[in-house]
Structure 1
Amino acid sequence: MPGWIRAYVRVVERVNYVVGRVAMYILFVMMGILLWSSISKAFTLPSIWTLEMAQFAMVAYYMLGGPYSLQLDSNVRMDLLYHRWSDRTRAWVDAFSVFALLFYLGVLLYGAVESTAYSLEYAERSPTAWRPYLAPIKIIMCLGIFMMLLQAIAFFFRDVAKIRGEEI
């Protein structure tokens, strides 16, 4: 494989690794928010921001952690025949099926960018009592989808290398 493909795969996987490891700690942020919600409901007036902020933390957690999960091959796969195939046959199937993932992620990213642009242009706010701006979480969603797209392309390059008998 050309050097630029090897460099691309290394950089994308390194970035997704670092972002994914950092995103793991967002779960603790969400737990803290929900703990505060429980405490405030029991001892003081309930906070109006906790539920929605926990939802935003959860979205950030799975959108930024998704590419890392894909990188670790911990995604769910329908495995009726897959485990019986050789590594090269798996690479052929993966190299072919990744195009469905790329199409899906491309459409998802297009919609996310459109929604984020709308949110930024019109200062879109949530229709709840707290009324936070939605642009920050939409930007995080766009970033997560884009990183997943880059990781899927890196997987395609890895599969092509495996078909050729090489390793990246």
Structure 2
Amino acid sequence: MPQVIRAYVRLVDRVSDYVGYLAASLIFVMGATLIFDAITRNVLHIPVHWAIEFTQFTLAAYYFMGGPITMKNEDHVRMDLWYANLSERGKAKLDLATVGCMIFYLGVMLVGSISSLQYAIQTGERRFSMWNPSVIPIKALLTLCLVLMLLQAFSLMFKHIATLRGKLL
């Protein structure tokens, strides 16, 4: 593989790792927020109306940000009924086909998320709740994470092509 593709794969993998580790730390943010909510509601009898919704937004960010590292590490759910019995080249061929489908799917999702983000920015879209937060930050994060997942999908494609050629990246 050309040096530029190797550099691309290393860069995208490194960014996916950093974003994934940041996503993992969001568990602590969610836990602290829920503990804070429980204490203020049950001990101090002062309910905070934003805590549950903030935790929901944080959980959405956790899922979005965890996608690229899950793809990179191949920690996603896979039907191993036939896959496990394939040779390395057979796995690479099947993975290459599924990566192609995934790239199409992520492209469609990215177009939709960009449209949704544009709408949210143009209208100042907010959640209809007591807290009434803006949805622009979470929609922007979704769009960025879809871009990173698309970049990671191309990285996987290059890795599978290298496997089929008998070379390492």
1:94-135 CA-to-partner distances (Å, cap 9, x unmatched) read: 111111111111111111111011111111110111101110
Within a 5 Å distance, the mapping from 1:147-158 to structure 2 comes to 147-158=148-159
Within a 5 Å distance, the mapping from 1:18-167 to structure 2 comes to 18-42=18-42, 43-167=44-168
Unpaired runs of 5+ in structure 1? none
The secondary structure found in structure 2 opposite 1:130 is coil
Deviation of 1:147 after TM superposition, in Å, equals 0.8
Deviating beyond 4 angstroms after TM superposition, the runs of 4 or more aligned structure 1 residues are none
Distance in structure 2 (CA, Å) of the matches to 1:136 and 1:163: 40
1:60-99 CA-to-partner distances (Å, cap 9, x unmatched) read: 1111111111111110001111011111110011111111
Question: 2:4 maps to what in 1?
Answer: 4
TM superposition score normalised by structure 2: 0.97
Asked if the contact 1:5/1:157 (under 8 Å) is kept, the reply is yes
Distance in structure 1 (CA, Å) of the matches to 2:117 and 2:106: 16
Unpaired runs of 5+ in structure 2? none
The secondary structure found in structure 2 opposite 1:129 is coil
Identity among equivalent positions (%) equals 40
TM superposition score normalised by structure 1: 0.97
Distance in structure 1 (CA, Å) of the matches to 2:3 and 2:70: 26
The secondary structure found in structure 2 opposite 1:80 is helix
Deviation of 1:44 after TM superposition, in Å, equals 2.1
Distance in structure 2 (CA, Å) of the matches to 1:129 and 1:26: 24
